[in-house]
Structure 1
Amino acid sequence: MTPSGTSSDLTLGFVGSFASALGPVIEAVGTPRFLRALNTFIAGFADCDTLHLQRSRLDPEAPKGCRVDWIGSYCSYEDSDLQAVMALYFRRFAADDSIARYVPPERSTELVQRSSAAVADAECKRLIFDVAAIHDECQVLRTIAEAQYSISLCRSKRLPPFSVSELSRLKELGEVLLPLTYLHALQVVDAPARLEAGPSDGIFSAAAARRGVHLSQRETDICSALVKGRTLATIAETMQIKESTVKTYTKRAFAKLGIGSRRDLLSWLHEAR
């Protein structure tokens, strides 16, 4: 007997496999693994060569009336030029893109497909699309917290254009994946920017004091550098100490705070503020 309001079409096997595949994406939110995990998950429904995440919002104070943030990009094959090409795109062309300027209604996931031949800006087409031989692009869009979040999937000549069934699946997946993209952006774009703008050592000291935790000055300095995205090697060079020493101080600080990773550190700090 099927309970009222439920569907008998979904088997337990399908639900289990879907949850198992999505699990690594959820676990990777806010970490460097997120883009790879997201690409791997999407490839199970529609293959692509490159994946790009962005956020845009209309802003009268921005130079072109639109502010576009680059959340990250991933390439399914070895391409050392990808980051440079995408940095160029977001620096010179993104704010002029009509898709970036479109804001879907709240709680509405929408999909846009375009061929590289339809790109009106000839310079953008030559420097961005032609470099990677991209011929087909699919963007899934959703408005969250008054900003448009999008997942862009691109195909080169090795793959055919996206089919109707693939596009339908991607739009449905956007209902789940775009909120995860939003949460990821909060941690990798917004949190470091907020902390970079303020006296993070004072923030840590105050937050630790409220929690009854005492961090040494060096532990505080290292935690401040970690939330700003600094690597252990960079921290060691700046402080003129060994990287192994930085690791030791990091372990001590994490033990005092009751955490185990950089992601936990960000969560701890925001919960303590």
Structure 2
Amino acid sequence: MSLSSSIRPMESPHFYFELGELISSTGNDHFAAKMLHLVDKLVPAHLVDLSEWTLDEQQATVLDIKLLGSAGSKEDLPAPRSLPHHNDHPLLKEMLGMDDSLLIQMNAKGKSPSLRGTPHQCNLVLRQASRRYVISFYRSPTQPAFSLGQLSFLKCLSDTLLPLIKRHAQASRQAPVKRTVESHTLLEQSQLQREFHKRLSLSEITLSAREKEVCLGLLTGGTVPQMAEKLSVKNSSIETYLKRAATKLGVSGRHGLAKWMIGA
């Protein structure tokens, strides 16, 4: 899979609908499942683990590892197993040496230890002071390793996923939310709207009512024709509203809008 061809699905309305659902699920128990559902269609993975690490960088040790969520086909992979000691974890050395906020690391085949006991593991890591936010994707040992093209795509997608796991960790600490199945979809939609208006307020940016409506519609997976029909305007008008909003927000296109939404 080439990088250029793998990026094309990110331009589809369905991708942004699922991304909107992922943004809305930060802080609740559905977050890991929605992240895996989004990524698995683009880069097949059996399971995802989300974790927050606290390091003592001067002593080069791990103070704590907190599991933030897990989702996937657990029958295809062993249950999480403890390594001899946190400080023996194969990711620690890479985390300590991070200069950038992004790291993609794939375990080599052979004897490299792994939390799930499989050599096919890809980790996305965000550095935030002494904390590391880690997204670990796994494939079963019977499946092929992640290809270079797939790793390149995950690296491209990481600037969207990594800020979200940080937000998820913060939201989980502040106010764990339990949601019923019946109210889940409605609450997610209203939360996305609240998050959007909160981001606008923090940015001190003013959008017109139509510009807001178009941005929210596109973030939740609406297409330009759908938005035009809903608002009883031409397709070109929807494009104009989006361009005006994007200019005010300092972004380009729907992907730029999604990245702005999550603070990336």
TM bracket (short chain):
0.5 to 0.7
Moved over 4 A (4+): 10-13, 60-65, 229-232
Contact 1:45 1:170 in 2 (8 A): no
Secondary structure of 1:98's counterpart equals: coil
* Alignment check: 8 A CA contact 1:136 1:161 kept: yes
Bigger Rg, structure 1 or 2: 1
Note the C-alpha offset of 1:60. Answer: 7.2
Amino acid in structure 1 at the alignment position of 2:143? L
| Contact kept in structure 2, 1:28 and 1:34, CA below 8 Å | yes
- Deviation digits for residues 214-260 of structure 1, max 9, x if unmatched? xxxxxxxxxxxxx5x7899xxxxxxxxxxxxxxxxxxxxxxxxxxx7
- Match 1:163 to one of 147, 162, 169: 147
SS in 2 for 1:20: helix
Are residue 40 (structure 1) and residue 40 (structure 2) matched?
no
Question: Structure 1 pair 144/13, CA: closer, same or farther in 2 (3 Å)?
Answer: closer
- 1:14 aligned residue: 11
What is the aligned residue count? 178
Q: CA deviation at 1:187?
A: 1.9
After TM superposition, the score normalised by the length of structure 2 is 0.55
Distance 1:155-1:69 versus aligned 2 partners, 3 A rule = same
Give the conservation status (yes or no) of the 8 Å contact 1:60–1:66.
no
RCO comparison, higher one (Cα < 8 Å, 6+): 2
Residue 98 in structure 1 maps to residue 82 in structure 2: no
TM-superposed deviation, 1:52: 0.8
1:204 aligns to what? none
TM-score w.r.t. the length of structure 1 is 0.53
| Residue 198 of structure 1: aligned partner | none
Partner of 1:111: 104
Change (3 A) 1:141 1:78: closer
**Contact kept? 2:77, 2:116, Cα under 8 Å:** no
Alignment of 1:169-188 (within 5 A): 169-188=153-172
State how far apart, in whole Å, the 2-side matches of 1:69 and 1:63 are.
Answer: 18
1:28 pairs with 2:25: yes
Amino acid across the alignment from 1:51? V
* Per-residue deviation, 1:94: 3.9
The 2-side partners of 1:109 and 1:43 are apart by 20
Distance, in Å, in 2 between the alignment partners of 1:114 and 1:152 is 11
State the Cα distance separating 1:14 from its structure 2 match. Answer: 2.1
Cα distance in 2, alignment partners of residues 156 and 43 from structure 1: 14
Q: 1:48 to 1:61 in 2, by over 3 A?
A: same
Report the RMSD for the aligned CA atoms in angstroms.
3.9
Aligned pairs for 1:81-160 within 5 A: 85-86=79-80, 88-89=81-82, 93-101=85-93, 102-103=95-96, 104-106=98-100, 108-119=101-112, 128-130=115-117, 134-160=118-144
Runs of 5+ consecutive residues of structure 2 not aligned to the other structure: 1-6, 181-186, 195-264
SS at match of 1:151: strand
Secondary structure in 1 matching 2:68: strand
Could you tell me whether the CA contact under 8 Å between 1:55 and 1:148 is conserved in 2?
yes
Partner of 1:191: 174
Alignment CA distance shift 1:81-1:230 (3 Å)? farther
Distance apart, 1:97 and its partner CA: 1.0
